[in-house]
Amino acid sequence: MTKPAKRNISGVLLLDKPLNISSNKAIQIAKHLFYAAKCGHTGTLDPLATGLLPVCFGEATKFSSVLLGANKTYETTLKLGFMSTTGDAEGEISQVAATVQNPAFSACEQTIQDFIGPIMQTPPMYSALKHQGKPLYAYARGGEIIERQAREIIIHGIQIRSLLHNELQLNIQCGTGTYIRTLAEDIGKALGCGGAYLLSLRRTAIDRFQVTQAHTLLALEEMNAAERDACLLPVDCLLQAYPAVTLSDQSAILLQQGRTVECQPGSNAMPAGEVIRLYNRQHFMGLGEITAKQEIMAKRLLSNSYWSEIAV
């Protein structure tokens, strides 16, 4: 039986990654379901984490980095008084001390306030950060510990969902570069429990995207091709934070030729360096940038082949 040809489709799929598979595996399954020629992601989740994983197809891969630095929201459950070699349930678990008392709800409320705002955090050994071209987790699996420098992250908010014995369930809103496993350990230590590890982790939001908008792999598998394609969001959904500018046909052509063009008459002046979304006849063209002369230059445009298809 002949395999269907790969399709040059473009768009963004909000995927609800299941438990116990890697982000790369989930993305490859999605790529196969859509018969997509090109596919990428906007940041990974560990195999034991679930939740929102935006997947970029085709031309959307050009803008996937936008979400790498976006704010994220997580639901997580901490096991207080225990430590894990990996920071989660996948590692070797050890009890810190049998005599440690479970904290009171009021103590948890008070302690987590110290973690809100800019804080310093040391990345864990079980992470994809690289040392001399090799990810830290590769050293960790070989029993080697690499010295890491603490770096500043930001925690926008933490809310307690429940506290049952030594299991603390939290909602966490954080900036880019935050390791929830490390945050869990640090909270456990600050509570006087000696540490903590993650029993579960679910990403519920990235920027303005919510996991309630996402589709599971099982649901996608049960759809026909047209239903799956209808799940894709347009490429420019990733870029709504940038102001939009509509170009005339002539300006659109000149910009594709590598020329700069004047801002549209009557448009408000924008500061030099401002990144903008570009449109022509309601079709998204890509990103531009305002020059010191109040002209527009191309920053990242959709390919000419894609543009010719949608602009017909």
pLDDT band at 135 (very low <50, low <70, confident <90, very high): confident
Residue 189: the pLDDT is 95
pLDDT higher than threshold 70 for residue 60: yes
Under 8 Å between Cβ of 180 and 76: yes
Torsions phi, psi for 211 (to 5 deg) = -65, -20
Under 8 Å between Cβ of 202 and 45: no
Average pLDDT, the chain: 90
CATH of domain 72-206: 3.30.2350.10
Q: Which residues pair with 74 in a beta bridge?
A: 172, 203
Q: Where are the domains of the chain?
A: 11-69+209-231, 72-206, 244-311
The 3-class SS string of 230-248 reads CCCECHHHHHCCCCEEECC
- Tens of pLDDT along 69-126? 899 999 999 999 999 988 898 888 998 877 778 899 999 999 999 999 999 999 888 7
Other CB atoms within a 10 A radius of the CB of residue 128 amount to 11
Q: Which CATH number fits domain 11-69+209-231: 3.40.50.300, 3.30.390.50, 3.40.50.11890, 3.30.2350.10?
A: 3.30.2350.10
Stronger pLDDT, 306 or 93, i.e. the higher one: 93
Domains 11-69+209-231 and 72-206 share a fold: yes
**How many percent of the chain have pLDDT more than 70?**
95
Residue 305: the pLDDT is 58
Active-site residue numbers? Answer: 46
pLDDT band at 307 (very low <50, low <70, confident <90, very high): low
Dist CA 50 CA 161 (whole Å): 18
Dist CA 288 CA 154 (whole Å): 29
Residue 181: the pLDDT is 94
Nearest to 157 by CA among 142, 145, 170, 146: 170
- Tens of pLDDT along 48-58? 999 999 999 99
| H helical segments located in the chain | 23-34, 105-112, 136-141, 180-190, 217-221, 225-229, 249-256, 304-310
Spatial CB neighbours of 210, under 8 Å, sequence gap ≥ 6: 52, 204
Residue 312: the pLDDT is 43
pLDDT higher than threshold 60 for residue 309: no
244-311: CATH architecture: Roll (2.30)
Lowest-confidence pick of 19-33, 169-183, 185-199, 257-271: 257-271
Q: Which residues pair with 82 in a beta bridge?
A: 95
- Tens of pLDDT along 184-243? 999 999 999 999 999 999 999 999 999 999 999 999 999 999 999 999 999 999 999 999
Torsions phi, psi for 189 (to 5 deg) = -65, -40
